[in-house]
A and B are shown apart, each in its own frame.
Chain A
């Protein structure tokens, strides 16, 4: 396993369409995190999972956003009715059991809403 994998790397969509991104964490990492990064800014926390349980959601995660991790392995992040303001890099990270260990980030999915 070479690291956190995200798919697709790039996505261009029209405003109003739904999009879904996938994240495969490092094997046996039970914690998985989603972040959003806009141009020139640091990543902003969106949500995280421990196994299949979604433990915390940021206020940034509006009701158009939903994340799942049904089997405690890969995770999906869906954005419904996309808006131009959703254009950003969506980053996924994972960390090993226990939580008090560093998080490793994937390469991200670059979303452009036109």
Chain B
């Protein structure tokens, strides 16, 4: 089955700096790659996603890149703010149902003022 690895497990950045989280996946059939943000005591919230026919996608301060050849994808957050502090999860889907996801282990991001 699909396996998703995520690095780093923790990331501390100064407010205003950039944060980058990297994920690799094992199954070349994966076709959908979402990123979720989870705050303490809450469910995961989708922040951005990318489909396998696209190499990059940007939404304001957040961008995701996908390298299908290398089977890795990354989340980039620019101009970080304290409210960006949370756990971020990458995920991949090889199903025709994009709600069936294989998640990475998560990255705890701490943005210090």
The interface of chain A, by Cβ under 8 A from chain B, is 4, 6, 31, 33, 40-45, 48, 50, 55-56, 91, 93-95, 99-108
The interface of chain B, by Cβ under 8 A from chain A, is 4, 6, 32, 34, 36, 41-46, 49, 89, 91, 95-106
A62 to B6, CA, bound (A): 27
Residues of A within 8 A of B4 (CB): 42
Are the C-beta atoms of A102 and B42 separated by less than 8 Å?
A: no
Are the C-beta atoms of B44 and A43 separated by less than 8 Å?
A: yes
Closest chain-B Cβ to A99's Cβ sits at a distance in Å of 4
Are the C-beta atoms of A107 and B42 separated by less than 8 Å?
A: yes
What are 20 of the A-B contact pairs (CB < 8 Å)? A31-B97, A41-B106, A42-B4, A43-B44, A55-B97, A91-B44, A99-B99, A100-B97, A101-B98, A102-B34, A102-B98, A102-B99, A103-B98, A103-B101, A104-B46, A105-B44, A105-B45, A105-B46, A106-B43, A107-B43
Are the C-beta atoms of A105 and B100 separated by less than 8 Å?
A: no
Are the C-beta atoms of B43 and A108 separated by less than 8 Å?
A: yes
Are the C-beta atoms of B98 and A99 separated by less than 8 Å?
A: yes
Q: Which of B6, B41, B101 has the most CB of A within 10 A?
A: B101
Are the C-beta atoms of A105 and B96 separated by less than 8 Å?
A: no
Are the C-beta atoms of A91 and B43 separated by less than 8 Å?
A: yes
Are the C-beta atoms of B99 and A42 separated by less than 8 Å?
A: no
Residues of B within 8 A of A56 (CB): 100
A9 to B108, CA, bound (A): 23
Residues of A within 8 A of B97 (CB): 31, 48, 50, 55, 95, 99-100
Residues of A within 8 A of B95 (CB): 99
Residues of B within 8 A of A33 (CB): 99-100
Residues of B within 8 A of A40 (CB): 105-106
A40 to B6, CA, bound (A): 13
